[in-house]
Chains A and B, each alone.
Chain A
Amino acid sequence: MAKQELETKETPIAYELAKRQKEISVAEFFTKNRHLLGFDNKRKALLMAVKEAVDNSLDACEEARVLPEISIEIIEMSEFKYKIIIEDNGPGIVKKQIPNIFAKLLYGSKFHTLKQARGQQGIGISAAVLYSQLTTGKPAKITSRVSKKEPAFYYELNIDTQSNKPVIAKEETVEWAKEHGTKVELDLEAEYLKGSQSVDEYLKQTAVINPHVTIVYTNPKSEQVIYARATDKLPYESKEIKPHPYGIELGMLMDKLRWTESRTLQSFLTSEFSRVGPGTAKEICEHAALLPSTKPSQVSRDAAEKLLQGIQKTKIIAPPTDCLSPIGEELLEKGLRKEIKAEFYCATSRPPSVYRGNPFIIEAGIAYGGDIPKEEKANILRFANRVPLLYQEGACAMTRGIIETNWKPYGLQQSGDSTPIGPVVIVVHMASVWVPFTSESKEAIAHYAEIIKDIKLALQECGRLLGTYVRKKGRISQQIERANMFEKYLPEVADSLSALTKEKKEKILQGLQKMLVKPEIKKEIIEEDADDRLYKMEFKKKENEEAREEAG
């Protein structure tokens, strides 16, 4: 029937349909699909807007090698209407880039590079600006200054959703006390709540994982919290690297072949990829049955596929890992100590690993006891490139790694494959040039076997330290119980002996109490094993180190 209709109509229907087919602007697309960027509800929108601005500030400061000082202020304007002001001491943004960075989606420096950074796609802050515009109709207000020699520029910006281009509503130079830095002011529809997925929690976790950052936060109730930095050491400057051949996919390879400036396949391979020298390039060509002198632009789809197979067949050394900037065991532990009140802390940093040609480092930390609730599920803090991940805990490779780890030997309760229970905060951090998020809103890490394996290894290292601590703690409380037990026994013994001998009970009791403090008797009461002595030494060592640090 349908076929008949198509044939009998004078003009094919496709022409009719074609009238309605047109380009969709990126801005328009995200207007309709704001959940893809994490702006699904009012509460989350507030978090996302603050997070994007803070992430950008931190990235900028670190790139400029400035110790970050960031102030965040949230003001309630009316019901569900908030103003957020984020100000940093970063390098500032040159005048002509300000409109593009804040009011053009998919504009940025990070997408095209393989480098460990908080932002990746260049969507973040402009998406927040777009959301602000959509919910309040107000422009984003940006102030930025690059040096004391130049004035501070002030912009009011909107996004033209049709063309994805910035619309400048106001532009002027202003007086600003800061020598350099950027200030972002956004009005948006939002909801302020506390809890595990709040701005408060995000900033606290940011302070844990970035011990070099000072954050001054004023919430809508005008309560101010200051997260002071615990170290003056900036993270190692992460370097940009070229992609490793093992991580490339066909489409990307074909794009690269088309746009390269190299004249031969061999020079293409050596110049576009890391860890490929002339020898390796020749070997790849050989395995792909392609001539090293082939012009890259003439490599067909089929040939590109062969090239990909050639890459897989060739043994290529792992990508360089100096491009990564882990937090390090020491600073991770400091970050935990700073923000979480516990009795025991430990942290570990794994050696670099590789998934799909992308180098990464897994770090883990544990805080135990103290103020952490005893009978609740472990509090999991997930971080990717120093950014807290607050949503989609269940879908994340880090959660997978935690529940696949057997925590019972480490002194926590756990039933089957589930989150352990006990007074514990578990931190997992992944540093990578490309973190494989499951979605654009960057909430969960994809389940790569290599990543999960390393997460588990890191957790096991921490777990062993935790286990020894928990056991030691158990032993100590047992010993205290024992000493108490003897104290309770004394009057009973004295009473019986007094009944047998008619000696005064008090006199016998005094004699026994005197003995209780004698060292040789103490030794009988408190059994000390070799393990205990080892701990005492370790703890002593740690205490000394801390004392020295404080003194120095």
Chain B
Amino acid sequence: MKKQEKKPVKELEDFGKSLVDDIEKGRNPTIEFNLRSLSNIIFDEKTRTLGLGSKQQQRTFFNVGHAKKFLQTLEVAKISKSLLDVQKHASLRDVFYMAKRTIPSSSINIVDEQAESDNAIEDLELITGCSREQLNVNANKMGSVAGNVVVEDSGDTINWAKLGSGGWSIPSNVEDIDFKSIKAKYIIYMEKQAVWERLHEDKFWEKQNCIIVTSQGQTTRGIRRLLQRLNEGDKLPIYVLADFDPWGFYIYSVLKFGSINLAHMSGAMTLQNAKFLGVTADDVANYDLKKHFIRFKDVDFARLKQIADYDWFKKNKAWQRQFKMMKEFGAKLEIQALSSKGITFISEKYLPDKIKRQEFLD
């Protein structure tokens, strides 16, 4: 643990020193790091992951457009340093509140919204080459997991099969967890907490000998790291269960190929063998779900088009077929619509059948 913390402290110090050096030499203080925007995102066909290109971005202090962001970057660097100095961790939300203050004798806040401090930390990851967790900043979102797995965390041994109705709460930093035994044969990751609870109540993981994982909405970093570590060497197939809508598709996309925001850490995050189990356009027809459609709004159409145009989906005929059908429906569907067939339909029929028939999108 000590060894891990040394690098971030040094990186932060070096970062500060380079700026002090600029000031001493009368140069406009400048931070340079990889450009983190869609224009610099490259989809590597070989590794099939998103990565950052070589485009650099400069952030100078004496520049009307940069000054505020420059200030924010330094502010979170200071906060991270202070956390590392006392060996404490803070959540993204904590960092936001630590940075959210008004500059004396002005009406300017250093940050107004959490998105700003979150962004500054992601920039800091690029600048220092240290992950957010290494900088002692954790996500605040949590997820749940259950299955035939035994782990050791901070000296405690935990059996994921014996944690009652709530399952195990996934910590935001999973780097220090050791896996003692993994008996499950595959992993199902689901977008909805409610679906996870359904499967857990039905003892689906026990019957199928799998691991069920969820996080509320967009997959958090901690969960993505957990999935990757469980999956080391692609030992366990991973199935994704999400709503039938552009955002559901995107959850899959992020898990498999990486996200634009965190393209700089794709290597540690992506799950090459993730497969999309449902809900698919074919399920709509097969299970007669059209009556549960929710009409598309303009934003839905726009998002669908964006996703269909991503490099990693462009040449994928199976996916393009899904996009086309969704567009034709002009409608979306929640996973819970399957409950209309019976409360245990999803755990007793839908999932076992689909997995048995290997009905998924890759």
Contact = CB atoms under 8 A, between A and B. Distances in A.
B28 A515 contact: yes
A486 B75 contact: no
A499 B82 contact: yes
Given A482-B64, A488-B105, A524-B63, A518 B16 contact: no
A497 B17 CA distance: 8
Interface in A504-522: 508, 511-512, 514-516, 518, 521
B70 interface: yes
* Residues of A contacting B: mostly: helix
Contacts of B75: 492, 496
Interface of A: 482, 485-486, 488-489, 491-493, 495-497, 499-501, 503, 508, 511-512, 514-516, 518, 521, 524-525, 527
A492 B64 contact: no
A89 B75 CA distance: 77
A500 B78 contact: yes
B78 A495 contact: yes
Given A515-B28, A521-B28, A497 B16 contact: yes
B81 interface: yes
Interface string B1-35: 00000000000110111011001101011000000
- CB-based closest 5 A-B pairs: A500-B16, A496-B74, A501-B16, A511-B23, A496-B78
A492 B78 CA distance: 11
Contacts of B13: 500-501
Interface string B270-302: 000000000000000000000000000000000
Contacts of B29: 493
Given A488-B105, A497-B16, A512-B23, 20 more contacts: A485-B108, A492-B74, A492-B110, A493-B29, A495-B78, A496-B16, A500-B12, A500-B15, A500-B16, A500-B17, A500-B78, A500-B81, A501-B17, A503-B16, A508-B20, A512-B61, A515-B23, A524-B28, A524-B60, A524-B62
Nearest to A503: B20
Interface of B: 12-13, 15-17, 19-20, 23-24, 26, 28-29, 60-64, 67, 70-71, 74-75, 77-78, 81-82, 103-106, 108, 110
27 contacts: A482-B64, A486-B67, A488-B105, A488-B106, A492-B103, A492-B110, A493-B71, A496-B75, A499-B78, A500-B13, A500-B15, A500-B17, A500-B74, A500-B77, A501-B13, A501-B16, A508-B23, A511-B24, A512-B23, A514-B26, A515-B23, A515-B28, A521-B62, A524-B64, A525-B62, A525-B64, A527-B64
Contact of A497 (B19, B28, B62): B19
Contacts of B23: 497, 508, 511-512, 515
Contacts of B104: 488, 491
B70 to A, nearest CB: 7
A487 to B, nearest CB: 9
Contacts of B20: 497, 501, 503, 508
B159 to A, nearest CB: 43
Contacts of A489: 61, 67, 71, 103
Contact of A493 (B12, B26, B70, B81): B70
A493 B62 CA distance: 11
A499 B63 CA distance: 23
A496 B81 CA distance: 10
Contacts of A492: 71, 74-75, 103, 110
A514 B77 CA distance: 24
B24 A488 contact: no
Interface centre among A495, A496, A501 (most CB of B within 10 A): A496
A539 B78 CA distance: 47
Most buried by A among B60, B64, B77: B64
A486 B106 CA distance: 11
B16 to A, nearest CB: 3
Q: For B20, B28, B63, B110, which residue has the most chain A Cβ atoms within 10 angstroms?
A: B20
B71 A518 contact: no
Contacts of B15: 500
Q: Which of B62, B74, B81, B104 has the most CB of A within 10 A?
A: B62
Given A488-B106, A492-B103, A512-B23, A497 B74 contact: yes
A495 B82 CA distance: 13
Contacts of A496: 16, 71, 74-75, 77-78
Contacts of B64: 482, 524-525, 527
A488 B28 contact: no
Nearest to B63: A524
Contacts of A524: 28, 60, 62-64
A488 B103 contact: yes
Between A482, A486, A493, the greatest number of chain B beta carbons within 10 A of the residue's beta carbon is seen for A493
Given A500-B13, A500-B16, A501-B20, A515 B77 contact: no
A331 B7 CA distance: 76
Contacts of B28: 515, 521, 524
A125 B19 CA distance: 82
Residue from A491, A499, A511 whose CB has the most chain B CB atoms within 10 Å: A499
A202 B351 CA distance: 91
Contacts of B67: 485-486, 489
Contacts of A488: 103-106, 108
Contacts of A486: 62, 67
B78 A515 contact: no
B106 A493 contact: no
Contacts of A515: 23, 26, 28, 62
A479 to B, nearest CB: 9
Contacts of B70: 493
Contacts of B74: 492-493, 496-497, 500
Contacts of A491: 104
Contacts of A497: 16, 19-20, 23, 74
A500 B78 CA distance: 6
Contacts of A511: 23-24, 26
Contacts of B103: 488-489, 492
A500 B18 CA distance: 11
Nearest to B106: A488
Nearest to B61: A493
A497 B12 CA distance: 10
Contacts of B17: 500-501
Nearest to A484: B106
A524 to B, nearest CB: 5
Contacts of B12: 500
Contacts of B105: 488
Contacts of B19: 497
Contacts of A500: 12-13, 15-17, 74, 77-78, 81
B275 to A, nearest CB: 45
Nearest to A512: B23
